[in-house]
Every structure is written in structure tokens, then in C-alpha cells.
Amino acid sequence: MTEEIKIPAEFPRGSDVAGKRVVITGAGRGLGRLLAHAFSQAGAQVSLVARTETDLKTVAAEIPGESLVFSGDVTDAYFNDSVADAVVAEWGGLDVWICNAGISPIVAGPCATDPAVWRQILEVNLTGAFLGARAAARVMTSGGRLIFTGSVLGERPHEGLSAYGASKAGLVGLAKGLALDLALSDITVNVVAPGWFDSPLAETWKATPARAERVLAHTPQGRWGAAADLPAAYQFLASDASAFITGTVVNVDGGYLLK
């Protein structure tokens, strides 16, 4: 054992994603749209995936960089495979796949939750992520990055959101398992778990003062997350600087899970 750490001749540039070939699912709106803007502005080539082609074309027209558009169903294994193959054919490879597509169509207790809705949430949020990761891993080479969008609700459940919380908790287990499976292929797998953000999705909660106060009471920083708070975590995990980080969860929550 040496007494001194060997200093590298060159360090990776933190969160540098310029030139990365990135797939973002759920890119037609919300967080996916935000990530599309952030990665494109940072110099990445961005492939946009969602169900609605018109939404995707709108986002593609908004962002400054090169993009591809794929409309389809993330719960379809063939669709995921076709996206991966098309990106490789067009851009020569695939570096990052962000499994961001997700739904939470209801806020209801178990007796008011239709079993079909439960299955749909798990199918999109969990199975869709697995199929995307599977498609990406098939074509990725050394240095590939898989990133799942989780949620603090995967660790701290909230009443009325058991299906959503279960799907996000499942993503953590999936990420850890895939991290082991893909480690020797030098493909990392991680989760970004957002807390409570000031977004259209949060409007339902903010409309009820008691709910809004409870969220802020559990957030040590005392505020809702802002759009600018979130993309950097994804960009870091997508960059070369995160090469030795896999199977972990990055909570971007203002300390919500600490209380």
C-alpha cells in the first residue's frame, strides 16, 4: 500500500455530458421535458420518447441541440428495442438511457383503487423501466449509464399513493439488482429520487393548505423544489465523473427524508 494517492494526469469534468447520446422516456412533458432542455443545452444528443408524438415534436422544436423523436408505449418490449436500435443506427451508439416515464392517475386508498389501475401503474412505472433498461443494456458498451426516476415516496409512503409508492420502491430494488448484473460490463445503474417540487403535479397538494404545510414541515430547507434544482443530479450520473457510482439512490428532496 502506498502512502500517497496517485494523482491522475487528468480528472473527468464533473457533470460533463457534451456529446453523450441520451434517451429520455416520458420526454413529452413535465420532468422529461425539463431534462430534455437541460441535456440539450449541455451539448448532449437527445432522443425523446413518449406516447404522444405532437408533444415530442413540440419539445424537439424547443431544444437547441440535435434530437430524435420516438412515439410509442414503454411497456412494449419491441418498442424499447426499436428505439435502442434506431439510436445506434443514427448516432453510432447509446451512452445514457433515462427511464423517466411514469404515471400516477389516482389518489385513493386500497378499497377505492381499481386492480386494473394498480396493474397499469406498476406496468408503466416499473415494468416499463425494466424493459427500457433491458433494451439499452443490450446495445450499450463500456461506460453506459442507466438512470431511473424514482421518488421519495418510494421510501416514505403517502396515503392514497400506495400503488405509485410501490412502483417507485420497486425501482430501487430493480436498480440495485441491475447494478450487480451489469457491473462487469461497466454499465452503471442509479436512481434519482425527487422530493416535492413546485410543478403542475404538485398543484393538487398545494391546493390543500394542510397538505402543503405538511410537505414543507417535513422539508428542512423549508421550500418546494425548483426546476433548476433537479437536472444536475441526472447529468452527474450520466457523466464520466460518476464511473464508480452504481446501485445508489440520489435524493433531491431538500432533506425531506431526514425528518
> ∠ CA 86-174-199 to the nearest 5 degrees?
75
Identify whether 164 is a catalytic site residue.
Answer: yes
The number of beta carbons lying within 10 Å of the beta carbon of residue 258 is 10
* Rounded distance between C-alpha atoms, residue 144 and residue 94, angstroms: 7
Name the CA radius of gyration of the chain, rounded.
18
Catalytic option among 78, 164, 234, 256: 164
Amino acid letter at 93?
A: G
175: its cell numbers = 436498480
Residue 9 phi/psi, 5-degree rounding, is: -65, -30
54 and 22 Cβ atoms separated by less than 8 Å: no
Q: State the Cα–Cα distance between residues 209 and 238, nearest whole angstrom.
A: 37
Q: At what angle do helices 115-122 and 162-182 cross, to 10 degrees?
A: 30
Q: Active-site positions?
A: 164
